[in-house]
């Protein structure tokens, strides 16, 4: 029986390019875990009317059922990655799974809106510990020659989870009850915990340290900003709570950036951003999720509140968008291995921007589904082209010792983008329209979609910062060294 080398066993023909048993197990386990964590970002969107009818609550309370999860997820991701580096990635991965599973059960058992929001916040804590370690564990287990394909599949699973949240949430809400959007996680989590203990290899980062000051700075800063954005319309942009949240939040984020430059071992070393690939993929990720999350939040409600579809029917009609990552992303991962990630990522983001702009241009009360199909398909293809190579780009820009922090950073910025997207686009929606009638809903949604399209278009421009396809270097002991193409040391 052959032993497995996480970097791929070497033979006379060069590096092994097959996914062997441990790599397959790592792909399955990390893929399912990331699917659960990503799914819970938007799974509640189509269930919000049922939750409001059952538990009560104001519009702001319903927004927090989405943002309580997204925010704790975002602000603790980098700390979760550091915990894994320090105490063992497999060990903390299983701890995060256990917290996430228990909080899912608590959410399903909630009898009031405040209890649900609290359970969603704890869910975010579990996901923040679990999610960044999935990418690190997978990268370590897969041979380098097959990493693009494996990360393409991983990206497809994650992208499908994010986009299919409205469909799954709507189907469970309509045919069973809204509680089942959370009960679904419980048996899955209970099955993954022992399998992770048995099938994943343990690893740590030498000399890893925990950064409590950095965690407090970024957590407080992001909470203040998102709190202000969520409450801006109900309380007013010039109200004391909103202004305090914006000013104090921005100051704390500034302190976090200063901390990252000056602390000897920060949770996020700002030196990483001198690499143009790391800077480009992270800024593009933040903007892409800002545009995508906010748009899905509004479009899923448009299909129900204006077009008159049931939650399940609305989710099914989004399948041309939500199904594309599963179909296209694995091929996009292989394509990025051949021609480089920059053109694939930039094209994917451009397609998404065009899809959202198309929707904004044609949105109307009596818009036929046939007219919706082209922007849905275009946006879905764009999402798939982005997700597939983005993870590979990220992990190739940092040294192995920094991969945990890099993964946590990218996931955190995605979640920050999602929280900002829901808050910003909902704020535009409320300022320009509302829920009073189908026409007022469209009046608010159209300008919000244009802003979402603009954010994703800007992300496409930032994707041009990514380095080109690496040139093959000299062969050393059976390995082909990669020589980056025209990447200055300081970005």
**For residue 256, which of 282, 222, 217, 209 has the smallest C-alpha distance?**
217
Helix (H, G, I), strand (E, B) or coil at 33: helix
Total residue length of the chain: 491
Residue scoring higher pLDDT (371 or 341)? 371
Q: Kindly report the pTM of this predicted structure.
A: 0.74
Q: What are phi and psi of 14, to 5 degrees?
A: 105, -165
Per-residue pLDDT at 148: 67
Check pLDDT > 70 for residue 194. Answer: yes
CA-based end-to-end distance of the chain: 46
Sorted by sequence, the CB contacts under 8 Å of residue 400 that are 6+ apart come out as none
Q: And the tokens for 240?
A: 């004391």
Q: And the tokens for 167?
A: 């469909």
Binned at pLDDT 50, 70 and 90, residue 448 comes out as very high
CB 483 within 8 A of CB 473: yes
Helix (H) or strand (E) holding 246: helix 240-262
Helix (H) or strand (E) holding 475: strand 471-476
Q: Which of 61-75, 140-154, 213-227 has the lowest average pLDDT?
A: 140-154
Mean pLDDT, residues 274-291: 84
Helix (H, G, I), strand (E, B) or coil at 2: coil
Q: And the tokens for 415?
A: 């979640």
Q: What are phi and psi of 470, to 5 degrees?
A: -60, 145
CB 405 within 8 A of CB 280: no
Q: And the tokens for 122?
A: 């704890």
Q: Which of 38-42, 122-126, 186-190, 282-286 has the lowest average pLDDT?
A: 38-42
Per-residue pLDDT at 128: 83
Residues of the chain above pLDDT 70, percent? 79
Sorted by sequence, the CB contacts under 8 Å of residue 180 that are 6+ apart come out as 108, 172, 173
The 10 Å Cβ neighbour count of residue 253 is 18
Its sign, for the CA torsion 184, 186, 190, 196, is positive
Binned at pLDDT 50, 70 and 90, residue 484 comes out as very low
Per-residue pLDDT at 105: 93
Interhelix angle 369-396/147-175, nearest 10 degrees:
140
CB 177 within 8 A of CB 311: no
CA–CA separation, 152 and 150 (whole Å) = 5
What are the DSSP calls for 162-202, one per residue?
HHHHHHHHHHHHHHT-TTHHHHTHHHHHHHHHHHHHHHSPP
**For residue 6, which of 447, 403, 305 has the smallest C-alpha distance?**
403
Strand partners, 472: 482
């Amino acid at each position: 029986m052959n032993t497995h080398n996480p970097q791929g066993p070497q033979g006379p023909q060069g590096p092994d390019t097959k996914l062997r048993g441990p790599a397959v197990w790592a792909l399955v386990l990390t893929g399912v875990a990331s699917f659960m964590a990503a799914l819970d970002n938007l799974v509640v969107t189509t269930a919000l009317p049922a939750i409001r009818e059952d538990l009560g609550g104001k519009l702001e309370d319903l927004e927090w059922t989405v943002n309580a999860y997204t925010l704790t997820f975002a602000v603790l991701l980098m700390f979760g990655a550091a915990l894994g580096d320090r105490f063992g990635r497999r060990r903390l991965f299983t701890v995060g799974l256990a917290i996430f599973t228990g909080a899912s059960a608590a959410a399903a058992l909630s009898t009031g809106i405040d209890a649900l929001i609290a359970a969603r916040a704890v869910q975010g804590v579990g996901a923040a510990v679990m999610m960044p370690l999935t990418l690190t564990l997978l990268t370590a287990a897969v041979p380098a020659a097959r990493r693009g394909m494996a990360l393409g599949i991983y990206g497809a699973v994650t992208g499908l989870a994010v986009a299919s949240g409205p469909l799954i949430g709507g189907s469970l809400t309509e045919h069973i009850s809204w509680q089942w959007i959370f009960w679904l996680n419980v048996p899955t989590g209970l099955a993954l915990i022992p399998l992770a203990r048995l099938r994943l290899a343990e690893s740590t980062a030498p000399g890893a340290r925990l950064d409590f000051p950095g965690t407090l700075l970024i957590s407080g800063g992001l909470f203040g900003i998102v709190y202000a954005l969520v409450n801006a319309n109900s309380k007013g942009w010039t109200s004391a709570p909103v202004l305090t949240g914006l000013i104090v939040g921005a100051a704390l984020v500034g302190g976090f950036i200063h901390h990252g430059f000056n602390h000897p071992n920060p949770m996020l070393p700002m030196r990483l951003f001198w690499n143009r690939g790391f800077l480009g993929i992270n800024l593009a990720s933040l903007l892409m999720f800002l545009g995508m999350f906010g748009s899905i939040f509004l479009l899923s409600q448009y299909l129900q509140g204006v077009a008159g579809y049931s939650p399940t029917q609305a989710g099914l009609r989004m399948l041309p968008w939500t199904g594309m990552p599963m179909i296209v992303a694995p091929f996009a991962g292989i394509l990025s291995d051949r021609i480089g990630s920059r053109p694939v990522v930039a094209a994917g983001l451009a397609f998404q921007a065009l899809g959202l702009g198309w929707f904004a241009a044609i949105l109307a009360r009596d818009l036929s589904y046939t007219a919706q199909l082209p922007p849905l398909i275009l946006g879905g293809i764009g999402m798939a082209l982005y997700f597939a190579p983005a993870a590979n780009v990220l992990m190739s820009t940092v040294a192995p010792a920094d991969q945990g922090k890099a993964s946590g950073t990218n996931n955190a910025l995605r979640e920050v983008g999602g929280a900002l997207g829901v808050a910003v686009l909902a704020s535009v929606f409320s300022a320009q329209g509302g829920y009073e009638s189908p026409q007022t809903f469209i009046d608010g949604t159209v300008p919000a979609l244009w802003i979402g399209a603009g954010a994703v278009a800007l992300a496409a421009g930032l994707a041009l910062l990514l380095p080109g396809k690496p040139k093959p270097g000299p062969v050393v002991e059976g390995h082909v060294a990669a020589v980056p193409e025209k990447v200055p040391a300081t970005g």
